[in-house]
Chains A and B, each alone.
Chain A
Amino acid sequence: GENVEQHPSTLSVQEGDSAVIKCTYSDSASNYFPWYKQELGKGPQLIIDIRSNVGEKKDQRIAVTLNKTAKHFSLHITETQPEDSAVYFCAAMGGSARQLTFGSGTQLTVLP
């Protein structure tokens, strides 16, 4: 089945700096790659996603890039703010898998 690896597990940045989280996946048939933000005590919230026919997608301060050849995708957050502090999960879906397989999560801390 699909296997998703996520790095780093923790990331601290100064407010205003950029943050990058990277994921790799194993199943070349996967075609949908969402990112979720989970705040303490809450459920994962979908923040951005990308499909395999697109290389990059942006939404204000958040962008995701996908390299299908290398089977990796990344989340980029620019001009980070303290409210960006949370756990971020990448996921992959597609091929024979009809459910999301998640990475292990990245605890992002934005220092004021």
Chain B
Amino acid sequence: DSGVTQTPKHLITATGQRVTLRCSPRSGDLSVYWYQQSLDQGLQFLIQYYNGEERAKGNILERFSAQQFPDLHSELNLSSLELGDSALYFCASSVATAKNTEAFFGQGTRLTVV
């Protein structure tokens, strides 16, 4: 168990809908990363938050947004869903200091858009 908790584990929704994925980082970790994993794209970085603020942005679509709350949990919001958004979404957390960059992943949320 990595200590990173993601909910829900599975999500099935229709095209055009909006969903929210939740991530609770390991105790003491200030940074949260979101990754998308699809069969043909591998692990793609979406966005990083550090202590409540956006720190880095990857190939995240404008239909997607995220935030990190004062208790450090994070939510990834996916809207106007398309079939191609079906994927595994992983959250990882890290202390994210210069000397401690280990990132630990949750078990993921499998999103299926039908």
Q: Are B48 and A43 in contact (CB under 8 A)?
A: no
Interface residues of A in 39-57 (CB under 8 A from B): 42-46, 49
Report the minimal beta-carbon distance from B89 to chain A, rounded to whole angstroms: 10
Interface residues of B in 63-114 (CB under 8 A from A): 90, 92, 96, 101-108
Flag A45-79 by CB within 8 Å of B: 1 or 0 each: 11001000000000000000000000000000000
Report the minimal beta-carbon distance from A42 to chain B, rounded to whole angstroms: 6
Cα distance, A49 to B105, chains bound together (Å): 15
| Residue of A32, A100, A103, A104 with most chain B CB atoms under a 10 A cut-off | A100
Q: Are A93 and B101 in contact (CB under 8 A)?
A: yes
Contact of A36 among B55, B96, B101, B105 (CB under 8 A): B105
User: Is A89 at the interface (CB under 8 A from chain B)?
Assistant: yes
* Cross-chain pair count, CB within 8 angstroms: 47
User: Is A99 at the interface (CB under 8 A from chain B)?
Assistant: yes
Q: Are A104 and B42 in contact (CB under 8 A)?
A: yes
Supposing A98-B55, A99-B33 touch, asked if A32 and B107 sit within 8 A by C-beta, the answer is no
Q: Are B43 and A44 in contact (CB under 8 A)?
A: yes
Cα distance, A103 to B44, chains bound together (Å): 10
Binding site for A on B (CB under 8 A): 2, 4, 33, 42-43, 45, 48, 55-56, 58, 90, 92, 96, 101-108
Could you list 9 examples of A-B contacts with CB < 8 Å? A44-B43, A46-B104, A46-B105, A93-B101, A98-B48, A98-B56, A99-B56, A100-B33, A100-B45
